[in-house]
Amino acid sequence: MSLGVKLAMIFLTMVFVDNYVLVQFLGICPFLGVSKKLNSAVGMSVAVIFVMVLATAVTFPLYVYLLEPNGLAYLNTIAFILIIATLVQLVETVLKKFIPSLYKALGVYLPLITTNCAILGVTLLNIDNITENGYGFLESVVCAAGAGVGFMLAMVLFAGVRQRLEEANPPKPFEGLPITLVSASMVSLSFMSFGGIIEAIFNG
């Protein structure tokens, strides 16, 4: 299998089959909290994609070249969360100073991202992927991008569902969050049908 095909497969698998929000349950807080309106859902997702790719690009070499060879692999959780926190702060400062228009669009979402489990999750899962699936730097970054795009797809789809929910009239106890979760279950159900489809496309 050529590298390009492998990368495309990783990307599509992360978006559809192993979707972070709907299948792996990572990043549920923003999925429920920021998906009421389409434009905030998109803003949050773009910030997440950006930080996910950046965080993976930094933590992967750190683990492979610094922690692992020195027998410090057990420190990965603590090292990664500190890197993510610093990185988010750095991105915020840089955007504010140099690209104020982008900061205006994404700035609101950045402080929420440090404690978003999808970000720490993607960096930690990519480390597991080194031994399990033989991922290198490029595969890891593509995997992170796929995870981010999958997050965006789930957010955007669900923003549409929620706009319909506003006008729905569920039984009293279901009003608010319960009916939102039940409809998330339906959206998740539709993603179940992607299972196996990516392998089938690429392997014929």
When asked if residue 138 is in the footprint of other proteins (CB under 8 A), the reply is: no
- Report the SS3 class of residue 100: helix
Residue 54 or 125: which CB sits closer to other proteins?
A: 125
Q: Which is nearer to other proteins, 101 or 203 (CB)?
A: 101
H-type helices in the chain, by residue range? Answer: 3-12, 28-33, 38-61, 76-98, 100-106, 110-113, 117-133, 137-167, 177-192, 197-203
Distance in angstroms (rounded) separating the CA atoms of residues 190 and 4: 28
Should residue 82 be labelled a site residue for other proteins when binding is judged by CB under 8 A? yes
Question: Is residue 188 part of the contact set for other proteins (CB under 8 A)?
Answer: yes
Identify which of residues 69 and 176 has a Cβ nearer to other proteins in the complex.
176
Chain center to CA of 94: 22
CA–CA dist 45, 151 (Å, integer): 7
For other proteins, give the closer residue by CB, 57 or 124: 124
Shortest distance, position 204 Cβ to other proteins, whole Å: 28
CA distance 135 to 126: 8
Q: Which is nearer to other proteins, 6 or 36 (CB)?
A: 36
Neighbours of 189 (CB within 10 A): 10
> Pattern 20-59, binding to other proteins, x per CB under 8 A?
--xxxxxxxx--xxx-xx--x---x---------------
Contact positions toward other proteins, by CB under 8 A? Answer: 22-29, 32-34, 36-37, 40, 44, 74-78, 81-82, 85, 107-109, 111-112, 114-117, 120-121, 124-125, 128, 171-182, 184-186, 188-189, 192
